[in-house]
Amino acid sequence: MRKNVLLLLLLLVVASNVAIAQQHNQASLEQQVTGHLQGKLLDAKTGAPVEMASIAILRADSTLVTGMYSNAEGGFLFNNIPLGKTLLRINFVGYKTLFKPVVLTKAAAMVDLGDVKLESNVKSLAAVTVIAERPTFTMAIDKRVFNVDKNLASVGGTATDVLKQVPSVNVDIDGNVTVRNGAPTIMVDGRPTTLTLDQIPADAIQSIEVVTNPSAKYDAEGMSGILNIILKKDKKNGTNGQVRGGFSTLGSYNAGLDFSMRRKKINWFVNYNVRDRKGSSRDEIKRTTTGPDSLSYLNQNNDGNIKRLFQYARTGVDWFMDDRNTLSLSGSLVKGDFKNKNNQALTEFDSLHTPLRYGSGINNSQNGFTNYTAELNYKRTFIKEGEELSANVQYNRANSSDHSQYNLFYNNPDGTPSYDPHLPEVRHGDGTGNTTYFTGQVDYVNPFSTRSKLEAGLRSTARVFNNKLYTMGLDPVTSTYGIDTALSNDYHYTENINAAYVSYTGGTRGNFGYQAGLRAEQSSYDGRLNTLKTGTYKLNYPISLFPSVFLTQKLKDDNEFQLNYSRRIRRPWFLDLVPNLSYGGQSASRGNPLLKPEFTNAFEFSYLKDFSGKANVLVSLYYRNTTNAITTFYQDTTLNINGADQHVLLSYPINANNRNSFGAEFTLRNQITKGWDITTNANLSHTQIDASNQGSNLNNSGITWFGKVNSNTKLPWNLTLQVTGNYNSKEIQPQGERMPNYTADLGLKKDFLKNNAASISLGLNDVFNTNRDLSYTYTEYQDQERYRKQASRELRLNFSWRFGKMESSDKKEKEKKNKDNHNDDNGGINGDGN
């Protein structure tokens, strides 16, 4: 932690030096032969910022010098304006056109107009009704954005449900997320998070950003890029909000409230969601044991019910100190209670499939957690357009409690108790844990011209994990309980990651752009097992360098190419490292303290074509080479559980020699008609895994493909129909394979009341009830088939009502103009880290 405090002090020193340097820059600007003009547009009656107003600078003969649109805060800034007399013209729908003379001289080359107030044009405003909506999915050459408020299937769900709808993203039955067959890094508002996807309500999410090959500005963690979850934060003037609620055929319910209020320099918001999810689950294992002198079979079933109660609250305030400085403070609280009840049954057979013995029992657990987060953000913009300094400090604390009950009794075929070769297993466990997570970050952007800029930043993170689990096992001989050391633990774990990056973006007038960046990261891990087991492990990874290069060429007719390269890392997380044993039936898993991080060199070539706004095509070819590839290894072994030897199939993570993947991804967004658009995404890849360092015959390869279709249709009577389908082909693993899977979702929404302030939506998830996991694993002495299924077909009914001021600006046109201006200024490279 001391290292992180010192680094945070360094960040503050850097910020101070930048501010001082900026003061010298401003003084030198006054001696230039051109001038600078800035100001802020406000509604004369309400004082609200006027965004996207057209601002033009005219010469004395009324010819145009330059122009721009006001930003979200109503601000505008012109650089390099010729000295002399000019005329400022400001116009926007609903306001009177304003003309304002401005004189720039060598003595007054920097003019700040301050607050410029616009008068409403009542006649014009009454005659205009503008209705526009953001598309569900938008594509850029370096980033794809999925707008969650347009997604019907995930209403009332979680971030996991949202990601199932996002093109390029695949989510399995356990909620594990992959992009292009690799694990991405999950971020919230551009920063690491301790929240799991199931802890983030879908109704709290504004959009999902998919960045497949991030630049050096982003964390190097994540083999397949970054998924950035953007949370809702309303900044519209006045008082605005939304209430919602719903229920489902599985007995689940959800409710929520969003509220924001902005008055001049203060914006305050609060979000609250409660969600109770219920369902059933089934886990079936069929195993064949082929020992040197024996052949036997095992069938094991677990049937259970799942109940998950979440509460999520978030609040924050933005203080717009002046036109250049903004300070934001926010906090969140997430509270959950999970209950899993499972009945387990197993049957063992001899080589002739004759039953030898039966087992039955329970495997129940109850887990609770509370997660607190506090975040402070500061942002300063400078007189030079595009120059800004931002700093962020985040503190997170999570507390958890765990309770489990497990028993398994064996009987002979005639119903009498069986004690050979298995003794009865009866145990219960109680545990507590806590996690502390601190992050400090500062970023600085300095544009040298409209086509070049320098970005740099520092980040430091520190995590501390503490966990205690005491498992008490029943001795069948003495009928007394004692601590089961194989299933108990007491560990302390710390992780520190420090990083710095620098990136330069440039371009030419021929629409060629480039960006080169370098990120340096240093990390250390320190783990200690106490009391029940002894052992320590300490891992220090020296500074690793992660370069990135992006080359972009824009051609005529909205054609754009990009070639990029980046180096990535995947570090083991604490459960991968801690040798904590989890056991049930005749299967077990644990961590591996010797696990090393894996490194990936990622290459990508992309082509983006826009057909006059009617269709967008994005084609990407990619290649990834991963060394020390982290994968799951299965081993036949014998464990001593509660004083008795148990033959189990043990799984744990290992480092394979390498993993090589190459493939192609195709995304097509097609506006079929004015009210119907379809987004189609397909990914085809070949993966080869070499784990021969762990033993012979541990190499595997194969071709996999993934496809997803999203259809959105506007129907009469303010109805919207949404259909989503996805398919996952067979996936290869070092010791087996996972079989194909497909699902389909439907959603229907009806808008009503004035300005469509209210809506009711009906969603049907997993229409054909096909979402399941079927996998095969092969070891030296065992072949295993595993089938898992959770209640996934669910009909959801949800209602929402929005109140307060409604926006009436043509967002679609604004976004297009903003995008065009941004691309022109950067030579085709999008330098925005978010």
Q: What are the tens digits of pLDDT across the range 555-569?
A: 887 788 999 999 999
Domains 31-127 and 254-786+794-801+813-825 share a fold: no
What value does the mean pLDDT of the chain take?
83
- Select 254-786+794-801+813-825's CATH number: 3.30.1340.30, 1.20.1050.10, 3.90.1150.10, 2.40.170.20: 2.40.170.20
Please give the C-alpha separations between residue 85 and each of 58, 77, 97, 102, 383, in angstroms, as whole numbers.
Answer: 9, 17, 20, 6, 21
- d(Cα 500, Cα 220) in Å, to the nearest integer? 11
Q: What is the dihedral of CA 816, 819, 820, 823, to 10 degrees?
A: -160
Phi, psi dihedral angles at 134 (to 5 degrees): -70, 140
Task: Give me the percent of the chain exceeding a pLDDT of 70.
Answer: 87
Longest dimension (CA), the chain: 105
Per-residue pLDDT for 129 more than 90? no
Helix (H), strand (E) at residue 821: helix 811-825
Kindly tell me the burial class for residue 642, based on how many C-beta atoms sit within 10 Å of its own C-beta (0-12, 13-18, 19 or more). Answer: buried
Q: What are the tens digits of pLDDT across the range 683-729?
A: 999 988 888 877 666 777 888 899 999 999 999 988 999 999 999 99
Q: What are the tens digits of pLDDT across the range 90-125?
A: 988 778 889 888 888 888 888 888 888 888 775 544
Kindly tell me the burial class for residue 127, based on how many C-beta atoms sit within 10 Å of its own C-beta (0-12, 13-18, 19 or more). Answer: exposed
Task: Look at residue 696 in the predicted model and tell me its pLDDT.
Answer: 61
Handedness of CA 578, 598, 396, 8 (dihedral sign): positive
Task: Look at residue 183 in the predicted model and tell me its pLDDT.
Answer: 80
Identify which of 745, 771, 719 has the alpha carbon closest to the alpha carbon of residue 165. Answer: 745
Per-residue pLDDT for 29 more than 60? no
Are 394 and 438 contacting, i.e. CB atoms less than 8 angstroms apart? yes
Give the list of residues 6+ apart from residue 127 with CB closer than 8 angstroms, or none: none
Q: What are the tens digits of pLDDT across the range 292-333?
A: 677 899 999 999 999 999 999 999 999 988 878 999 999 999
Per-residue pLDDT for 8 more than 50? no
Model-level pTM? 0.75
Pairing of strands 177-179, 185-188: unpaired
Q: Provide mean pLDDT across the span 769-776.
A: 93
| Half-sphere exposure (Cβ direction) of 807: Cα atoms closer than 13 Å | 17
Task: Look at residue 586 in the predicted model and tell me its pLDDT.
Answer: 67
Pairing of strands 587-589, 644-655: parallel
**pLDDT band (50, 70, 90) for residue 412:** very high
Task: Look at residue 826 in the predicted model and tell me its pLDDT.
Answer: 39
Give the list of residues 6+ apart from residue 655 with CB closer than 8 angstroms, or none: 595, 596, 598, 628, 629, 630, 693
Of 44-58, 219-233, 542-556, 811-825, which has the strongest mean pLDDT?
A: 542-556
The region of weakest confidence among 50-54, 133-137, 436-440, 546-550 is 133-137
Per-residue pLDDT for 818 more than 90? no
- Report the Cα–Cα distance between both ends of the chain, in Å, rounded: 28
Per-residue pLDDT for 141 more than 70? no
CATH superfamily name and code, 31-127 = Immunoglobulins (2.60.40.10)
Per-residue pLDDT for 11 more than 80? no
Are 149 and 165 contacting, i.e. CB atoms less than 8 angstroms apart? no
Q: Provide mean pLDDT across the span 161-181.
A: 85
Q: What are the tens digits of pLDDT across the range 722-751?
A: 999 999 998 877 788 889 999 999 999 999
Per-residue pLDDT for 145 more than 80? yes
**What residues does each domain of the chain span?**
31-127, 254-786+794-801+813-825
